[in-house]
Amino acid sequence: MTARTMALRLDRAQRRTERRDTLLGLLARLGTLTAAEQALVVEYVHAELAASDHLRRTVQGEQRAHQAAMDRTRAAEATIVEVEQERDTAAAAIERVRAFAADIDTPTWRAPGTEVAARIRVALDSLTSPKGSL
């Protein structure tokens, strides 16, 4: 916050405090007010209403922005959970294929042209290497 903004806020707060104090004093003497004092009460009440309306609109805008941020956060968290579940499912599938490859790694499957287990292992290693890690 800049010094100018802070000074403006302090000035507005001081004027608001003065209006409220004057208004409370006038309300205490409501039955004995002059026409000028009655006009001052009306002016101050309108100023207070305008200030409170402005503040209310500002707060509502902030609440909407906060809610939108919360909605985005919840959506992001839900997406993270979904992706983590997909990752876990894929990792389990890879482990099943690894086990399958280990089970079929026999001399027959290693014969030239039928190196299925070796090909599966190479494919799996490429998926879990640092470059394409799951």
pTM of the model: 0.51
* Number of domains forming the structure of the chain: 1
The pLDDT value recorded for residue 128 is: 62
The pLDDT value recorded for residue 117 is: 67
Closest CA to 47 of 22, 78, 28, 75: 22
Within 8 A by CB and 6+ apart from 114, the residues are 108
Residue 97 lies in a domain: no
pLDDT digits (tens, 9 = 90+) for 31-44: 888 889 888 888 88
Domain that holds residue 45: 3-83
Residue 120 lies in a domain: no
Other CB atoms within 10 Å distance of the CB of residue 85: 10
The pLDDT value recorded for residue 41 is: 84
In the predicted model, is pLDDT for residue 133 greater than 60? Answer: no
Residue 60 lies in a domain: yes
Quick check: 23 and 48 in contact, CB under 8 A? Answer: yes
Quick check: 22 and 44 in contact, CB under 8 A? Answer: yes
* Residues above pLDDT 90, as percent of the chain: 23
DSSP state of 34: -
Residue 11 one-letter amino acid? D
Residue 52's Cβ-side half-sphere holds a number of Cα atoms within 13 Å equal to 7
Within 8 A by CB and 6+ apart from 122, the residues are none
Residue 131 lies in a domain: no
Residue 24 lies in a domain: yes
The pLDDT value recorded for residue 64 is: 92
Give the largest Cα separation in the chain, rounded. 112
pLDDT digits (tens, 9 = 90+) for 75-125: 999 999 999 999 999 888 888 887 777 777 666 666 666 666 677 777 777
In the predicted model, is pLDDT for residue 22 greater than 80? Answer: yes
Residue 113 lies in a domain: no
Residue 95 lies in a domain: no
Residue 102 lies in a domain: no
Residue 2 one-letter amino acid? T
* Average pLDDT over every residue of 16-29: 84
CA distance 121 to 101: 7
